[in-house]
Each structure stands twice: as C-alpha cells, then as structure tokens.
Amino acid sequence: MSDDFLRPPDTSKLDRLIEERRKQKAEEVEQDNQYQDLVPDDGYERTESDKQLDSWIERLSIVDAYNKWCGKSTPSPHPGQTESVMVSCPIPGHTDKHPSAWLNLDKKTWFCGGCQIGGDSFDLAAYHFNYPVPGYKEGANFPKLREEMAKSFGFTFEPPIPGTDNKPVVIPPPKKTVLKIAPDLPPDPDPESEEETASVTQIDGSDIDEELEKELPTLDWRKLIEPGTFIDAFTTCTEPDDIPSEYNFWNALTGVGLAVGQDVTLHDRIPVQGNMYVCIVGYTGDGKSRSYRHLEKVLTEALPWNRTEDKPKGVQIIKGAGSGEVIIQSFAHQTDTGEKVPVRGLIHYDEMASFSSRSARTGNTLKPIMQEIYDSPPTLATRTKTGGRPGQPLIFEAVHPFASAFASSQPAVFKKMFQEEDLDSGFLNRWVFITGERKERISIGDHMIDMTPAVAPLQEIHGWAGFGKTITWTDAAYREFNEFYHEVIVPTQQRDKTQLLARSDLTMKKNILQFAVNELESEVQVSHVTKAISMFDYLTVIYNILGVEVRTSPFAAMQNDILNFVTAKTVKNSRGCSQGEVNRYIKRRGFDITRVQRILDTAGKMRMITVIDERKDPNLGMGRPTIRYISNMI
C-alpha cells in the first residue's frame, strides 16, 4: 500500500471555506438581529391577555404604525414593494421635508439616512406618547407603552381580577390589566383552512399588481461567453446560486473594466474606457445584494486595494458615500514625492433609494460628481470642510479617476426615487439597468459558492493590460458597428423621448471593449461587435420601461403644472409672471418651493422659459424690481 494512500486527506481548503461561511452567516445573523433588543423582557409570566396583545402587535404593519403614531408623510408602497418605502423621519425635531427615511415592510423596521438612526413600531409609539427612547425599554415603561399602543387602536382595558396576577416570587411585576375587547384585531388564520390563509394574505397587502408580475426582460448571456475566460470562470462559479444569472454576468463585465482601469481604452475620437454604472433591478429576495458580494469577493482577492502603496493598482471599494466631496477624496492619491496618481474604485450603494435620499438634500453634490467622474475627467478637486488635518492638503484633487458603480432597486420604486430632471440632466443615462430571469429558490444550500477559480483569470487580465494599451478596430468590426450605428442606434435615439438611450452607443462601445479585454484581444473582432449588438434590444426594453416610470412621476406632473401656469400668465401679459405670483400659486397648490425653483432653473437652462432678474438691472422692469418668468412655449 502506497504512502499516498495512507496520508490523511488535505482538508485545509474545505476548512477555509467552512470558516468563511461561518463568518458570512454570523454577519447575516448580526444584521438581521440588529433590532432584537427592541422588545425587552417584561419581567413577568405571560397571561392569555398578554399573548393576545402580543399576537396583535406582531401582526401590526410598520405602515399602519407610522400612519398612526407619526404621520409626517404618507407611506405609499407600490404593490409588491416591501423595502425602501420612502417616508419623512419619525424622530421629533427632524422636519425632513424631503423624505430621507424608509420603511422595510418585511422586517417591520424604519431607518433615517440623515440621522443614521432606525427602529421599529415600538419606537414610533414611544416618540408619539412622549416616552424616552430607548429608555421606554426599562422598568414599567414598556408594559405601559404596550397598553398605550393598544388603546390608540381601539382596545379597552379593565382592572385585574383579584388573585389572577400569577406574580413571580422574586421580582414583583408591575400592576397589570386584563384585556377586554380588541375591535380592530383580525382573527388568527386557521392553518388548516386555505381560504382563511388567502384572506389574511390579501389583508396584509402582499398580493402583487398584475403589471409587476409581468416578466422583466432577460438576456441570453450564455452565447456571449468564450470558454476559458474570466467571465466564463465568474459565471461558472456563481451559477449554482439561485441568483438570476444576468446579475452575475453584468457584474463580471464590471470586473473586467476594473481590472484594466485607465490602462486599456478603445480607439475612438474620445478614448472609451471600460467603467460602468450598473443598477440591478429586481424583486425582494432575488439576491441583488448577494450578487454584489460575489463581485466584491473576487475584486478584494484578485486586486486588493492598498493605499500605502506609492502607485496602487488595486480596486478601492467605496461604500455609501454621502456626498460628492467624499467621492473625490476617495479617488485622490499622491505618492511620497507629491505626485498625484490615478485611482480606480467601485462605488457601492446597496439600495438606490439610499443614494437618492442623500442626493436630494439641499446643496448635496452626489449626482453632479457621479456624472462627472463617470466621464473620467483629467482632474476633480474639492476643498475639505474642516480645512484639513495637519499634513493634509486643503484641496483634494483626483487625477484621471476611474469609477464604476453598483446599486440595486425594485422596479416599483423608480417612480419616487428619480425625477424628470434626472433624465434631462443625463444622470440616469449613465447607468445600465439590469434585470434577469428568476431561478427556483434553494431552501437549504448544500453548495458553497467558491469564487477562487475566478481570481487568477482576473489577475491575468490585469497583468495583460500592462502599462497601457489602445484596442483598435479591425476593418470588418468597424464596418459592422458603423452599419448598426446608422441603421439602428441613431434612429432609436431620435425616437426616444426619455433621453435614457442618449448614451446607448457609448454603452455598446464599453461592452465591445470588455469583450475584447476578456479574451485578451488587442483588436476588436466582428464577434465582439455582434455580441454587443445582441444586447441592444435587452437594454432598450429596460430603459423604456424605466423611462416611462420616471416621466409619469409626481415631479413630472408638478413640472407640467408650473410650466402651464407660466405659459398662461405669459398669454395674458407679455411680461410673464413675477416671483411673487409664482410663490402664491405654489402655496395654493401645496408644492415644495425648493422643487419648484429647481423646475424653473432647469426650464430656464433649456430655454423653455426666459428668466429676467430685474433686481440686477432696475431699468428692465416697472415698479419694484423682481424676478420674472416668461414662457417660450407659446
């Protein structure tokens, strides 16, 4: 018998994978249980009345709790939407006119992005009934708060019946009351009755709107992958997961771009780089966040970021940046000799709603900086708000930054997250929105997702890029793209009223570059062009769906209302309307003055109206100088 046969098997790799899985599971448990301590132990044995009250509280939705005990705004979840339901912050003292908080209907929790504070229904009630937060969890406060919550929903209480308290021997409980009636309490569903269960599901609002049940567009991505490449390795590793495969395919394309950064470009009048902004659009539980973790895992192992290096070539992960200044600082790096060097990074927002709420704050520069850094300008600079720490420059300057981005969202929330100005400004058409075909859910995962086989191929791409390459076009590839550009892309862009397809030709060129790099080709082949062409219809359908959502948003209706008002005033008086007339109108309509001003500013820049500031030149007007708006749409 050979020594090899007697040698015990090498289990180091398996042990390592098991340990990684334990850490990942521990992180998930910690995240899921972050609000576990919000329901403290009462300190006494539960009676039937307590259990009945517990049952009602457990079934109380976070939306009903917010409406009853806060009411700063009205939550309007779309059918099927269970997360990122935007509301005004429930914390007293935070007026939050532009909602920066959101509800999670599944976890029955809320979180304010501005305050960085969250809670559940008990916290909402505690704020409403003037209990200390989180002090209501101590002593007799919590039982009293429960009674207040129940009474506000119509419960009534009677004094306890003598001799029925069943007090613990050691710690006397607070004096309890007995539940008498609960008029708003729906009956517990009978687990043996299908009809009863169905009716409860309908009450909870978990039925999905017919429009949202329609299948989102899918992509036949398997035909686009060459065997033995990084994208092949990445998608093979992730295929056993129950995440839609399209998510992983587009994340792999993002990884290819980050591996070469500024070092490899596609020949064009303005050289094309391989960075991408990808937003995965899917339903709750589809694995949007999990798909990102696969990408981050490969990037951190294959291209680790080390700021201490003089000229770092790894990929920096930038999570949840709250302002444009933070993004610029993240991409600013200089050597010990003072030389400023490029940085490549992946900007990550787990939910697009978080990005949207932060960027909506007055003076926030997130959107314009995200637009600018996407185009990889020669420099981007910002001054620190604090004046800088000792040894730090007062101005952060990023040179030739290379930025990709990842975010996720649900189809139904686009209407509230983005406004028509995001289409017109070009912010949204810098993003690629991805949907995918749902897989059958895995109840118990017996196959661990090991991304190790994708690490070496990505490092090979990184090494192949060297110190710079320009990918050129073969004659046949040029003719193929040129024909498609004039016959399909240009007419499609001309018909598009959403502006989402304005950069579709640039997206195609980025994909062509990524396919060539994935195959370590220094020239674009016809096959690379045909692959990008096959993706065009998929992207166009998604853009059109989302574009219509944004165009029909409440902001768009407000914009039409304001512009119609200015036009009507201009028809009656060639001098249009004054700022005072606009202010009185928006007060009657209940519009937000900040948003109206943004509408007027945008309309002025687009020459839809003429803005005359008589204060700068009193000779322009008659009477007291003011700002006047004259419609150009008559």
Averaged over 75-82, what is the pLDDT? Answer: 72
Q: Does domain 227-439+448-469 have CATH number 3.30.70?
A: no
Annotation: CATH topology of 37-203 = DNA Primase; Chain A (3.90.580)
For residue 580, which of 588, 97, 617 has the smallest C-alpha distance?
Answer: 588
- The per-residue pLDDT for 232 is 96
CA distance 406 to 398: 20
Of 244 and 389, the one with more pLDDT: 244
Count CB atoms within 10 A of the CB of residue 610: 15
More confident residue, 446 or 186: 446
Per cent of the chain over pLDDT 90 is 29
pLDDT at 392: 54
Q: Which stretches within 33-140 are classed as H helix?
A: 48-59, 62-69, 121-128
* Residue type present at position 390: P
User: What's the gap between Cα 264 and its chain centre?
Assistant: 29
Which of 404-408, 412-416, 476-480, 481-485 has the weakest average pLDDT?
412-416
The beta-strand segments (E) located in 35-161 are 85-87, 101-104, 109-112, 117-120, 156-158
DSSP labels, 572-593:
H-TT-EEHHHHHHHHHHHT--H
Question: Which stretches of 274-401 are assigned E, i.e. beta strand?
Answer: 277-281, 315-319, 344-348, 379-383, 395-399
Of 63, 66, 81, nearest in space to 417 by CA = 81
- The encoded tokens of residue 433 equal 């929105």
> What pLDDT, on a 0 to 100 scale, did the predictor assign at position 567?
87
pLDDT digits (tens, 9 = 90+) for 427-475: 888 999 988 888 888 877 667 889 999 999 999 999 999 888 999 999 9
Of 296, 409, 281, the C-alpha closest to 357 is: 409
The pLDDT-based confidence of 96 (bands split at 50, 70, 90) is: confident
pLDDT digits (tens, 9 = 90+) for 554-575: 666 677 778 888 988 888 888 8
pLDDT digits (tens, 9 = 90+) for 223-233: 899 999 999 99
User: Per-residue pLDDT averaged across 96-125, rounded?
Assistant: 83
Decide if pLDDT at 90 tops 80. yes
Burial class (CB in 10 A: 0-12, 13-18, 19+), 118: buried
pLDDT of 56 reads 75
* Residues making up the chain, counted from first to last: 634
198: pLDDT strictly greater than 60: no
Phi, psi of 334 (to 5 degrees): -140, 155
In terms of pLDDT, which residue wins out, 393 or 533? 533
Question: Residue 391 pLDDT > 50, yes or no?
Answer: yes
Band (pLDDT 50/70/90 cuts) for residue 24 is low
Q: Which residue has the higher pLDDT, 143 or 420?
A: 143
Residue 518 has pLDDT above 80, yes or no: yes
Candidates 391, 365, 392; CA nearest to 380 is: 365
pLDDT band at 94 (very low <50, low <70, confident <90, very high): confident
Separation between Cα atoms, residue 52 and residue 49, nearest integer Å: 5
Listed by start position, the domains of the chain span 37-203, 227-439+448-469, 554-631
* Among 49-58, 118-127, 601-610, the least confident range: 49-58
Mean pLDDT of the chain, nearest integer: 78
CA–CA dist 90, 580 (Å, integer): 33
Q: What mean pLDDT is predicted for residues 39-59?
A: 62
**554-631 architecture in CATH?**
Orthogonal Bundle (1.10)
For 560, residues 6+ apart whose C-beta sits below 8 A from its C-beta are: none
Report which of residues 515 and 130 the model is more confident about: 515
Q: Per-residue pLDDT for 481 more than 70?
A: yes
Can you give the pLDDT at residue 450?
92
Residues 393-421: tens digit of each pLDDT = 557 889 999 999 999 988 767 666 776 66
Query: Which residues sit opposite 157 in a β-bridge?
Result: 179
* Helical ranges in 210-339 per DSSP H: 210-213, 230-238, 245-260, 288-302, 324-331
More confident residue, 38 or 474: 474
What pLDDT does residue 407 have?
94
Max avg pLDDT among 100-114, 532-546, 563-577, 589-603: 563-577
Predicted local distance difference test score (pLDDT) of residue 15: 61
Higher pLDDT, 57 or 550: 57
Rounded to an integer, what is the distance from CA 613 to the centroid of its chain?
39
CB half-sphere exposure, 39, CA atoms < 13 A: 10
Question: Is the separation of the CB atoms in 259 and 301 below 8 Å?
Answer: no
Distance CA 308, CA 383 (A): 22
| 381 close to 398: Cβ distance less than 8 angstroms | yes
Residue reference for tokens 């009450």: 203
Per-residue pLDDT of 263-309, as tens digits, reads 999 999 999 999 999 999 887 888 899 999 999 999 999 999 988 77
Res 420: pLDDT: 66
- Provide the pLDDT for residue 552: 55
193, with CB counted inside 10 A (0-12, 13-18, 19+), is exposed
Please, are residues 291 and 251 in contact by the beta-carbon 8 Å criterion? yes
155 CB-near residues (< 8 Å, 6+ apart): 53, 56, 179, 180, 181, 182, 183, 184, 185
Note the pLDDT of residue 5: 37
Predicted local distance difference test score (pLDDT) of residue 37: 43
Q: What is the per-residue pLDDT for 280?
A: 93
The answer on pLDDT for 388 being more than 50 is no
pLDDT at 436: 86
